[in-house]
Structures are given as structure tokens and as C-alpha cells.
């Protein structure tokens, strides 16, 4: 209990860090189970996931919760505080924060929730594990086919270092008769050229969490050409649908947080964080833009479990990408 108090006191001295601590007394021996939860609130889905975690996490423990806003200095100060006074377990909502915790808290179990591309970002090892942000492309394609059974050609633009493995796995799992038209772009400018090239050749286009394509200018171009060429644009998160994509297949963020709470309980009971190797989201949510569907002449089947939005014609703004 003294360790938890010293962490809170140290963090309270930082002008940039918002820290909230709470205790859960659920039985004898609760004071020796210190858990530190680090939440990046620069992305709303991390906040949604953290709510699921806090609603479900019930082992007897002292828990400290710290919110950061994407400032590297703030993050480094928080990690240094934890390095000086290590907790029994750190649970992280945020990719950059998870990378920093894993690299500097080598003897502390780290669980991440909704981390982007954990393998590429070296979020692995006996003391690091958790759940990834991305829904498998093959699952996204399967859900797309429930909306568009006639889809034959799906486009994707990516950078090999970031998304090459994801694209190869998806290609290997395509059903017969479906073709993946892909382009490896070295930067956003080349990605824009590829968008112009392939949007007239495909029935659907899948937007990845990849910096060469998931940026404001390229998203606007995708929305424009998807409507012009009657191409279904599938995106990785609901805010893209609100901004003009047809459909998203995304993690159920609160259920991802609930799964992180289960992992935390198991680690506190003696399990290893590394046993949870970049688990896929435990559940997914489909979101569809009804206005875009009408413009593309697509009928949304009643049997498709989806959240159907009816945006009011707002200007297209690309949602912010999660940090990598």
C-alpha cells in the first residue's frame, strides 16, 4: 500500500498527468496486489475499452489509474515513476504507451489492450501480452460479403513494413472467385497515385490502419472516388463511417476492455502476461452509413447485425489514426 501511495504522490507533482487512484477491497490479502492502469485518452476507443476494464475488473487489489494525452514527456515521466516503484502489473490502453512500458519496465508484467500491430511494435515476450486493435482482414472481407455477396475484386493499399504480413494472410484466406488487388506504397503521395489507379478496377476497397493510406488527404480522396466509381469503402473504425466510408468492421472496444480485465486477473493469480499473444478482439461491431449505401445502390439486409448510421451530410473529415 505504501508503494501505491508513493506512485500517486509522485504523479501528482506532474503538471501534465491526470492521475486517479481507487481501491478495491474484496477480501484478505488485497493490499499486496498493486495494479497500474495507463490510459491514452487521445483516442476515444481507448477510453471506451478502459470503461469495460474498470466495470469488469474485480480482483482484490490496489489500483492506480493514470490518463495521458499523447505527450511523450508526460509518458516518459509516468514510466520513470513506475520504474522507481514497480507495481505487480501494468495494464496499458495505447500503443505508444505499451511500447514504452515494455521497453523500460522489463521485470514488470505488461498487458496491453487494443494495441496496433503488436508484432511489428515488439509487444511480445514472457512479460508482455494482450489484445490487438485490428480485426483480421479475412473477417472484414467475410462481413463485407454479407453486405455485398457479389463482390469479386477488393483493393488494398499498404506499406510493407507495417501491413505486409496482414495482407499476405488475408490473400491466403480469400474464398474462391475473390481477387485482392494490392499495392505496396512507400509514402502517402505514392498511395494517392495508387488510389487513382485502382479505384476504377475494384468493387470494394479496404482501408487499413496504415500511415500511408489512413491520413486526411488520402481518406478524402477515397471517399470521393468510392462515390464516383460506386466502390464500397470499408474502414477500420466507426468514425470513418461517420465521415463518408460505407462500412466499418471494428473491435467491440468495451468487450476488449473486459477481456483485458480477465487477463489481469489471471496474471495476478500467477499466470504469465506473455501467454496472451496479441489476441484478436473478442467481439466486433459492424457499422454502416445508410446515406452512402443509398448513393451506392446497396440494400442493407435485415439479417446483418449492424449499427446503421444516418449522417446529416457533414463535410468529410478523416478521423485521427491511432499512434503507432
Could you read off the pLDDT of 165-206 as tens digits, one per residue? 999 999 999 999 999 999 999 999 999 999 999 999 999 999
Rounded to the nearest integer, the mean pLDDT of the chain is 87
In the beta sheet, which residues pair with residue 39? Answer: 67, 93
- The answer to the question of residue 245 being in a domain is no
State pTM to two decimals.
Answer: 0.84
- The answer to the question of residue 289 being in a domain is no
Report the distance separating Cα 149 and Cα 299, nearest Å: 11
* Domain range enclosing 211: 137-235
Asked if residue 123 and residue 6 are part of one domain, the reply reads: yes
Q: Quick one: pLDDT at residue 324?
A: 58
Q: pLDDT digits over 257-291, tens only?
A: 999 999 999 999 999 999 999 999 999 999 999 99
Report the distance separating Cα 315 and Cα 47, nearest Å: 26
- The answer to the question of residue 227 being in a domain is yes
Residue 312 has pLDDT above 70, yes or no: no
Q: Tell me what the mean pLDDT of segment 227-253 comes to.
A: 97
Q: pLDDT digits over 178-187, tens only?
A: 999 999 999 9
Asked if residue 177 and residue 42 are part of one domain, the reply reads: no
Q: Tell me what the mean pLDDT of segment 35-46 comes to.
A: 94
Q: Which residue has the higher pLDDT, 9 or 255?
A: 255
Q: Quick one: pLDDT at residue 5?
A: 43
Cell of 170: 488475408
In the beta sheet, which residues pair with residue 183? Answer: 157
> What is the C-alpha radius of gyration for the chain, rounded to an integer number of angstroms?
21
Q: What is the largest CA-CA distance in the chain?
A: 65
Amino acid at each position: 500500500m505504501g508503494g501505491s501511495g508513493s506512485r500517486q504522490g509522485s504523479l501528482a507533482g506532474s503538471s501534465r498527468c491526470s492521475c486517479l487512484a481507487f481501491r478495491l477491497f474484496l477480501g484478505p490479502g488485497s493490499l499486496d496486489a498493486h495494479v497500474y492502469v495507463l490510459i491514452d485518452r487521445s483516442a476515444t476507443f481507448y477510453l471506451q475499452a478502459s470503461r469495460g476494464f474498470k466495470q469488469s475488473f474485480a480482483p482484490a487489489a490496489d489500483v492506480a489509474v493514470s490518463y495521458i494525452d499523447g505527450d511523450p514527456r508526460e509518458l516518459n515521466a509516468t514510466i520513470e515513476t513506475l520504474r522507481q516503484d514497480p507495481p505487480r502489473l501494468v495494464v496499458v490502453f495505447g500503443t505508444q504507451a505499451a511500447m514504452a512500458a515494455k521497453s523500460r519496465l522489463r521485470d514488470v508484467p505488461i498487458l496491453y489492450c487494443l494495441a496496433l500491430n503488436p508484432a511489428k511494435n515488439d509487444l511480445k515476450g514472457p512479460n508482455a501480452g494482450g489484445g490487438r486493435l485490428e480485426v483480421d482482414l479475412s473477417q472484414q472481407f467475410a462481413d463485407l460479403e454479407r453486405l455485398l455477396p457479389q463482390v469479386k475484386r477488393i483493393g488494398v493499399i499498404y506499406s510493407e513494413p507495417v501491413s505486409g504480413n496482414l495482407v499476405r494472410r488475408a490473400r491466403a484466406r480469400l474464398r474462391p472467385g475473390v481477387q485482392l488487388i494490392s499495392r505496396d506504397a512507400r509514402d502517402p503521395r505514392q498511395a494517392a497515385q495508387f488510389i487513382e489507379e485502382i479505384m476504377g478496377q475494384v468493387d470494394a476497397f479496404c482501408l487499413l490502419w496504415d500511415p500511408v493510406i489512413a491520413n486526411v488527404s488520402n481518406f478524402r480522396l477515397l471517399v470521393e472516388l468510392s462515390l464516383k466509381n460506386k466502390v464500397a469503402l470499408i474502414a477500420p473504425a466507426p468514425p470513418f463511417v461517420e465521415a463518408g466510408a460505407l462500412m466499418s468492421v471494428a473491435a467491440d472496444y468495451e468487450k476488449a476492455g473486459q477481456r483485458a480485465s480477465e487477463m489481469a486477473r489471471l496474471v495476478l493469480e500467477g499466470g504469465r502476461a506473455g501467454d496472451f499473444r496479441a489476441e484478436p478482439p473478442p467481439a466486433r461491431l459492424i457499422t454502416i452509413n445508410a446515406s452512402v449505401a443509398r448513393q451506392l445502390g446497396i440494400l442493407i439486409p435485415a439479417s446483418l447485425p449492424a449499427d446503421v448510421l444516418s449522417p446529416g451530410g457533414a463535410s468529410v473529415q478523416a478521423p485521427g489514426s491511432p499512434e503507432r
